[in-house]
Amino acid sequence: MPASPHAPAVLDQAPATESFREAALEGLRKPQKHIPAKFHYDARGSELFDQICRLDEYYPTRTEMAIMEEHVGAMAEALGPRAQLVEYGSGSSLKTRILLDHLDDLAAYVPVDISKEHLIESASDLATDYPSLPIQPVCADYTTAFDLPEPPVPAARTVGYYPGSTIGNFQRPDARAFLQHVAETVGPEGGLLIGVDLKKDTEVMKAAYNDAEGVTAAFNKNLLRRMNRELNATFDLDAFEHRVRWNDERGCVESHLRSHIAQTVTVAGETISFDAGETIHTEDSHKYTLDGFAALAGDAGFRVETVWTDERSYFSVQYCTVISESGA
């Protein structure tokens, strides 16, 4: 979709297609085939994820939004005046609007997303609805280093915003490394407002990633479609099925694409063999206890200051500040 004439200019730091090629081939060569979850989010993947967020089974979005609507005043107070708000993986910025409606003195809003088309569309919509807000979109893989644009007015502090349950997609060491990267980005006076999904009944967690309508299955299979389109792959989507399972030892819901048959597939000119029943591991969704996430945040240089949760303790929104070198 083309940008409107008044769409904010995008600072384009998107990774080249080659990085997708390298990651896909490296992962498909492993004994347990694996593709990083971030590659789900091309334009079609982002659209499908937006649909997932509206499903009955997918409790995280509506639960988080209810928490924010109830406590947004306290969240805005925690962020403070004249903040530069950096949203990691902004998508459609639906939850962000709840914040923006209560933050009328932001120095700038910086949505960061890997899907450029989706980013342009959502930034344009926000620019229309919030005409006085400086919006500075950045197209980048936010799990790696990227440059922040200079805000049009000096910011009192930089605050990261990471809504949803996406922190759960990281392995624990990678989650710590990502949070350390955020702490370095926001700096000594900075903060982080983050969504953290909590452990609960196993069937509730599994259903969130295996809906009855098959939208999550389409989202997962879109990864194969993307490889066909961008890497000249030869995946037959009908030869694979979406599967999820709870891994109690790892504390996460695992998503896989399972091959129905023994087959060979070509990806970027390389032949990849599958046994019948073999899977590509496409996503982890780790769930936390409050103490467990506080420990992880502490290892990464953050202190959890405030936790807001729902009455069932399904989900939490947490505000963290960077721990100073003195520990104060």
Three-state secondary structure string covering 254-322? EEEEEECCCEEEEECCEEEEECCCCEEEEEEEECECHHHHHHHHHHHCEEEEEEEECCCCCEEEEEEEE
Give pLDDT, residue 255.
98
Give pLDDT, residue 94.
75
Note every long-range contact of 26-34, with CB atoms under 8 Å and residues 24 or more positions apart, other chains counting.
Answer: 27/280, 28/267, 28/272, 28/280, 29/272, 32/279, 32/281, 33/272, 33/274, 33/278, 33/279, 33/280, 33/281, 34/280, 34/281, 34/282
Give pLDDT, residue 121.
87
Give pLDDT, residue 144.
85
Domain harbouring 196, CATH code = 3.40.50.150
Distance CA 134, CA 144 (A): 24
Asked, for residue 106, whether it belongs to a domain, the answer is: yes
Asked, for residue 312, whether it belongs to a domain, the answer is: yes
Give pLDDT, residue 1.
42
Paired residues of 304 in beta bridges: 320
Take residue 159 and report the two structure tokens written for it: 């605050």
Distance CA 115, CA 287 (A): 26
Asked, for residue 73, whether it belongs to a domain, the answer is: yes
> pTM of the entire structure?
0.88
Residue 55: left (phi > 0), alpha (psi -120 to 50), or beta? beta
**Structure confidence by residue, pLDDT tens digits, 66-99:** 999 999 999 999 999 999 999 998 766 778 999 9
Give pLDDT, residue 21.
94
Asked, for residue 183, whether it belongs to a domain, the answer is: yes
Residue reference for tokens 């982080």? 192
**Structure confidence by residue, pLDDT tens digits, 21-30:** 999 999 999 9
Asked, for residue 224, whether it belongs to a domain, the answer is: no
User: Structurally, how many domains does the chain consist of?
Assistant: 1
DSSP label of 19: H
Distance CA 226, CA 219 (A): 11
- Within 10 Å of residue 176's Cβ, how many Cβ atoms? 18
Give pLDDT, residue 232.
97
DSSP label of 31: S
Distance CA 25, CA 256 (A): 17
Asked, for residue 38, whether it belongs to a domain, the answer is: no
Domain limits for position 138: 59-201+287-322
Asked, for residue 166, whether it belongs to a domain, the answer is: yes
Low-confidence ranges of the chain (pLDDT < 70): 1-6, 17-18, 91-92, 326-328
Asked, for residue 168, whether it belongs to a domain, the answer is: yes
